[in-house]
Amino acid sequence: MSIISNSLKRIKPSPTIAVTQKARELRAAGKDVIGLGAGEPDFDTPDNIKSAAINAIKSGDTKYTAVDGTPALKKAIIKKFKKENNLSYNTNQITVGTGGKQVLYNAFMATLNKGDEVIIPAPYWVSYPDMVLLAGGKPKFVKCDEKDGFKLTPQKLKKAISKKTKWLILNSPSNPTGSGYTKNEILKLSKILLRNNKIFILSDDIYEHVRYDNFKFFTIAQIPKLKNRVLTMNGVSKSYAMTGWRIGYAAGPVEIINAIRKIQSQSTSNPSSISQAASVEALNGTQKFIRTRAKSFKERRDFVVKSLNSIKGINCLKPNGAFYVFPNCKKLLGKKNNFKKDSDFVKKLLEKANVAVVQGSAFGLDGYFRISYATSMKNLKVALKRIKDFCEKLN
């Protein structure tokens, strides 16, 4: 008899973390590997945020805090939602966790019963399905076409809804595609959701500030009639280059927020007091660097997309947010190159060209791969040259 629980047997380790770890191991073994797998800004945390953390340490702000966030951080989050999204929340509608990932995990653990369905548009962030499975729910995947920008359409949403549907996940801009939903697209989806009033929406807005080409961000909680059914998750990791600080937050219905706090009180308790103090400064302090860094990401995006589209057998859409591209490599698969699926292509790319990317099938859509361009232009130029040389040998 195995000591491991059945729920744990239903899930797999994170593919993106696995690829990043493999790249680290190869570099440690002396291989000249360029890792394009990690979804982590290469910029450093801004100095004003670091200073806030140092001051917190010096002033003795090193004790337990309220389980789901300090009053100061909750106040900063409320201010952010009002200023940037025109959304009003009270303190009891805000929760703070150890990263956005914990917030999502807690939400599913707090709300899902066995057999409850969660609609997950594919391609999707790799952890959504496994979190749902751990909580006893059932992921219901909806494949989104490249011609639709990998975005969920009202028709597909309507078809996916059943009597067991409890949540819909929306991630905009998206990991892994970088596609963002326009206000008009969200309004069209909302018409379906308004007719199905028992469905809750989890809006993953973690890439809200990483967007390009005058793309206007709109989150579904801004639709008044849906607000009380939306849990909006965000955090400081991507926008403020604070991945290691581990602070995520969410706003939503009091009942869900209370349930999340209950789970957190019996698991991790409060996030780091020092990280919370730093996050207050992140949200309240200067935001100018966000635009500057977005400009750098845009330059990298333009270079990567142009380079990929110059490679025979690869096609890549230009995303309007995040720091990923999701190129199509279907023409390179098949008997000719002995690649049955995209994971074979990705494995050989790492072995032969020393470039680590993540297969599209890890995100629920075979025939693609994800590149994170959250690295230096120098690395990107070398990596794209290697990818091109590798693919040309196939052709």
Mean pLDDT for each consecutive 10-residue tract of the chain (395 residues)?
82 76 82 89 97 98 98 98 98 98 98 97 97 97 98 98 98 98 98 96 98 97 98 98 98 98 97 98 97 96 98 97 97 84 92 94 96 96 97 85
pLDDT the model gives residue 395: 66
Longest alpha-carbon distance in the chain: 65
Structure-token match 């706003």, residue found: 251
pLDDT the model gives residue 27: 80
pLDDT the model gives residue 37: 87
pLDDT the model gives residue 8: 83
Distance of CA 27 to CAs 16, 23, 32, Å? 17, 6, 6
pLDDT the model gives residue 330: 95
| Structure tokens that stand for 84 in this block | 């940037």
From the number of C-beta atoms within 10 Å of its C-beta (0-12, 13-18, 19+), residue 330 rates as middle
Q: DSSP 3-state assignment of 101?
A: helix
| Extents of the domains making up the chain | 6-44+289-390, 63-284
CB 343 within 8 A of CB 361: yes
The CATH fold assigned to 6-44+289-390 is Aspartate Aminotransferase, domain 1 (3.90.1150)
Distance (Å, rounded) from C-alpha 60 to C-alpha 67? 18
Q: How many CB atoms lie within 10 A of CB 306?
A: 12
Q: What is the pTM of this model?
A: 0.95
H-helix or E-strand containing 169?
strand 165-171
Closest CA to 35 of 388, 328, 374: 374
Closest CA to 293 of 220, 242, 339, 344: 242
CB 299 within 8 A of CB 373: no
Q: DSSP 3-state assignment of 56?
A: helix
Distance (Å, rounded) from C-alpha 216 to C-alpha 114? 38
CB 38 within 8 A of CB 16: yes
Distance (Å, rounded) from C-alpha 332 to C-alpha 312? 9
The CATH classification of domain 63-284, taken from the options 3.40.50.720, 3.40.50.920, 3.40.640.10, 3.40.50.300: 3.40.640.10
Distance (Å, rounded) from C-alpha 38 to C-alpha 16? 7
Q: How many CB atoms lie within 10 A of CB 63?
A: 7
Distance (Å, rounded) from C-alpha 179 to C-alpha 123? 11
